Amino acid sequence: MASGNNGLLLSRVASGDGHGENSSYFDGWKAYDMNPFDLHSNRDGVIQMGLAENQLSLDLIEEWSLSHPEASICTPQGASQFRRIANFQDYHGLPEFREAMAKFMGRVRGGKVAFDPDRIVMSGGATGAQDTLAFCLADPGDAYLVPTPYYPAFDRDCCWRSGIKLLPIECHSSNGFTLTREALVSAYEGARLQGTRVKGILITNPSNPLGTVMDRGTLAMLAAFATEHRVHLICDEIYAGSVFAKPEFVSIAEVIERDVPGCNRDLIHIVYSLSKDFGLPGFRVGIIYSYNDAVVACARKMSSFGLVSSQTQYFLAKMLADDEFMARFLAESARRLAARHERFTAGLREVGIACLGGNAGLFSWMDLRSMLRDKTPEAELELWRVIINQVKLNVSPGTSFHCNEPGWFRVCHANMDDETMDVAIDRIRCFVRKYQTNNNNNKRKAAAAERWAASGARPLRLSLPRRGGAAAASHLALSSPLALMSPQSPMVHAS
Ligand SMILES: Cc1ncc(COP(=O)(O)O)c(C=O)c1O
């Protein structure tokens, strides 16, 4: 059925494009789906580096579940609990699950802060948590301010059903994309000038896509700003347990207790999930932890729409309560994430490609600004298409994260084995070396052409465009490496 007809039959929300599937972020996934890489059966396929998935420590969870058959209600050791768990449908969730979760959240935050199990509300992943929070906190047309670059699916998760909008707080590479008070005030004032009511500030700490943690001072500034202007502060801490190097992670929970004495806690909400730190996105375990009683009460009623299966709660309650395993898991996971991050970034350094200095998350924020034809989003997408179609890596362009500086790409490196990682690194190195060789050759040719032009030699005219003369030719040479590439360049065949 044509979408125009659907427009008549379905609600405006359902027939609109609020899902954001036309973002380039999802296009990359489609390219992968059509030709997925496989080490043994399709070595020429597209390698998925667009998925922030953590496969590095799943073996530890598998081992744990094998040695704890009582954690499953479908084994002889756990079957005595089958009826109780299968019948359970209270949207408060299993008490033992909320207790274990609260304890675990404290552990991940270095034991510096305690969480109250009664403030934990369950949702279908962090995705469901954001949808629920937007429902509770804002009305259609209201806005959240979000520092850029930010996780693309926020546009769907926060806005699709609620009808709110996200307005960017512009951050820049000059200070490592650190959020400043000036940028926040400018976004806030800008929204008010437009007549938009700001209901919240949404941050991700550690950041997706930057892979960096937010410092205590910035968090305190945000909490103070939220209190002063009576706006909510929503902190997505989904990567809290995936910090693998210094500086250490600081949770907003700790900051409001220690650093912002007059903070209005009714405005503070944490989103968490087990999708990333444990690599369990299929379990759909999301958490809203709100300091606001009314939000907890409303979100809890809403949780009937996306409650975590009681079987999953039961299993996780047992696993999260195993202190010895949790300590070992978190330490080993951090070690593996650090090793993978180093393997990837060192591989890129060999060909002079840098990433933003990150210490968290499942990805790197790769700087390919020097490879752009010009500093435009179009040039970034052009380069991205080459990387997808020729280099066959599904990385995600910065524009899809609302980054205002073209040339940055998010590359996920925790969702594959070492061998696939090595193939991916080889492909990037090969691509960059080809680009560098072509670029150097072309620069040499351009310099020679310019010397000829300066000496007034006649043959130059043969190589110039029909219109524009020497000035146009030299402009082309300097501003457009693509225009000067040989036909062998991997960038010439961009589709
Ligand atoms: C910052 C952030 N929040 C939320 C999500 C969604 O997580 P979940 O699978 O728990 O819905 C992701 C997934 O990539 C994410 O990176």
151 touches 168 (CB < 8 A) = no
Banded model confidence at residue 461, pLDDT cuts 50, 70, 90: very low
Q: Is the CB of 273 under 6 A from ligand 1?
A: yes
Q: Which residue has the higher pLDDT, 310 or 28?
A: 310
Q: Is the CB of 204 under 6 A from ligand 1?
A: yes
Q: Is the CB of 131 under 6 A from ligand 1?
A: no
Whether 426 has a pLDDT exceeding 90, the answer reads yes
Q: How far is the CA of 128 from the centre of ligand 1 (A)?
A: 10
Average pLDDT over residues 21-39: 81
Q: Is the CB of 286 under 6 A from ligand 1?
A: yes
Q: Is the CB of 236 under 6 A from ligand 1?
A: yes
Q: Is the CB of 281 under 6 A from ligand 1?
A: yes
Q: How far is the CA of 380 from the centre of ligand 1 (A)?
A: 25
Residue pLDDT, tens place only, 307-362: 999 999 999 999 999 999 999 999 999 999 999 999 999 999 999 999 999 999 99
Instruction: Looking at the structure, give the CATH architecture of the domain made up of residues 18-48+368-482.
Output: Alpha-Beta Complex (3.90)
State the closest ligand 1 atom to the C-alpha of 129, by its place in the atom list counted from 1.
11
Mean pLDDT of the chain: 89
pLDDT at 358: 95
How, if at all, do strands 120-124 and 354-355 pair?
Answer: unpaired
Q: Do domains 18-48+368-482 and 69-326 have the same CATH topology?
A: no
Q: Is 180 exposed, middle or buried (0-12, 13-18, 19+ CB in 10 A)?
A: middle
State the closest ligand 1 atom to the C-alpha of 130, by its place in the atom list counted from 1.
4
Banded model confidence at residue 436, pLDDT cuts 50, 70, 90: confident
170 touches 183 (CB < 8 A) = yes
Whether 301 has a pLDDT exceeding 70, the answer reads yes
pLDDT at 89: 85
Q: How far is the CA of 81 from the centre of ligand 1 (A)?
A: 31
Q: How far is the CA of 1 from the centre of ligand 1 (A)?
A: 32
- The residue extents of the domains of the chain are 18-48+368-482, 69-326
Whether 91 has a pLDDT exceeding 70, the answer reads yes
Q: What percent of the chain has pLDDT over 70?
A: 89
Q: How far is the CA of 275 from the centre of ligand 1 (A)?
A: 7
Whether 422 has a pLDDT exceeding 90, the answer reads yes
Average pLDDT over residues 234-249: 97
Matching CATH number, 69-326, of 3.30.70.2860, 3.40.640.10, 3.40.50.720, 3.40.50.10190: 3.40.640.10
Active site (catalytic) residues: 151, 236, 238, 276
Banded model confidence at residue 12, pLDDT cuts 50, 70, 90: confident
Average pLDDT over residues 422-437: 93
pLDDT at 15: 85
Whether 464 has a pLDDT exceeding 70, the answer reads no
Q: Please state, in angstroms and rounded to a whole number, the distance separating the CA atoms of residues 86 and 102.
A: 23
Q: How far is the CA of 194 from the centre of ligand 1 (A)?
A: 30
Residue pLDDT, tens place only, 63-76: 999 999 999 999 99
Ligand 1, pocket-test mutation among 55, 127, 130, most atoms within 8 A of CB: 127
382 touches 388 (CB < 8 A) = no
Residue pLDDT, tens place only, 39-62: 999 999 999 999 999 999 999 999
> Which amino acid, residue 330?
L
Whether 465 has a pLDDT exceeding 50, the answer reads no
pLDDT at 457: 61
Residue pLDDT, tens place only, 94-124: 999 999 999 999 999 989 999 999 999 999 9
Q: Please state, in angstroms and rounded to a whole number, the distance separating the CA atoms of residues 187 and 175.
A: 18
Banded model confidence at residue 24, pLDDT cuts 50, 70, 90: low
Banded model confidence at residue 22, pLDDT cuts 50, 70, 90: low
Here the tokens at position 425 are 């690194």
Q: Is the CB of 278 under 6 A from ligand 1?
A: no
Question: What does the angle CA 225 – CA 228 – CA 146 come to, to the nearest 5 degrees?
Answer: 35
Whether 420 has a pLDDT exceeding 60, the answer reads yes
Ligand 1, pocket-test mutation among 51, 131, 151, most atoms within 8 A of CB: 151
pLDDT at 438: 85
Q: Does the predicted TM-score (pTM) go above 0.85? A: yes
How, if at all, do strands 143-147 and 165-169 pair?
Answer: parallel
State the closest ligand 1 atom to the C-alpha of 124, by its place in the atom list counted from 1.
11
pLDDT at 160: 92
Hey, which bits of 112-172 come out as E strands?
120-124, 143-147, 165-169
Q: Is the CB of 238 under 6 A from ligand 1?
A: yes
Whether 277 has a pLDDT exceeding 80, the answer reads yes
